[in-house]
Amino acid sequence: MRAEPLPPRDRSATHVLKECVERDIAFVPFCPLGWPRGEANPVLTNPAVIQTADRLGITPPQVALRWLLQLAPNVLLIPGTASVDHLMENLAAQDVELDGESLRALADIADRPR
């Protein structure tokens, strides 16, 4: 099932995720790192995401991807990539551990402007 976006800041597809969990089917959020790309990206330029990445020694995309992966075991991500290095960076997000401080900081950015 293709779902609406669900990056840390836009939680509009939470109801779709819950339905997917209940039915034991995959949840694949569209554009998991948010839109638009680049400097105007509201997820990757969010201070809480940047501060979490700096504190954990990882990249903002890894923070956002890991946040999505920790939502439920049926979350599958297909982030775009144009290089092997970028692919490896995205794959490394699965090994990131978001601690309580990180999860609290990311919970507070839902649907709030930067």
Residue 42: the pLDDT is 83
Per-residue pLDDT of the chain (114 residues; tens, 9 = 90+): 434 344 455 667 788 888 999 999 999 988 888 778 788 888 889 899 999 999 999 999 999 999 989 989 999 998 888 899 999 999 999 999 999 999 888 887 764 444
Query: What residue type is assigned to position 15 of the chain?
Result: H
In contact, 6 and 32? CB cutoff 8 Å: yes
- For helices 47-56 and 100-107, give the axis angle rounded to 10 degrees: 170
Q: Which residues contact 17 (CB under 8 A, 6 or more apart)?
A: 3, 6, 27, 71, 72, 75
Residue 9: the pLDDT is 54
In contact, 44 and 59? CB cutoff 8 Å: no
